[in-house]
Amino acid sequence: MKKLLLAASVLAVGAVAHAEGDRGAQLYTMYCTQCHGAHGNGKGINAAHMSVQPRDHSDIKEMSARTDDELFKVIQQGGKSVNKSVLMPIWGGNLTDDDIHALVGHLRELCCQKD
Ligand code: HEC
The predicted-structure confidence for 73-100, as pLDDT tens digits, reads as follows 999 999 999 999 999 999 999 999 999 9
- Which atom belonging to ligand 1 lies closest to the Cα atom of 84? 18
pLDDT tens-place string over residues 15-70:
554 545 599 999 999 999 999 999 999 999 999 999 999 999 999 999 999 999 99
- Answer yes or no: is pLDDT of 14 > 60: no
User: What is the Å distance from ligand 1's center to 94 Cα?
Assistant: 15
Contacts 24+ apart (CB under 8 A), 18-27: 22/106, 23/99, 23/102, 24/102, 24/103, 24/104, 24/105, 24/106, 24/107, 24/109, 25/106, 25/109, 27/95, 27/99, 27/102, 27/103, 27/106
- Return the residue whose CA atom lies nearest to atom 12 of ligand 1: 54
pLDDT attached to residue 19? 46
- Return the residue whose CA atom lies nearest to atom 6 of ligand 1: 32
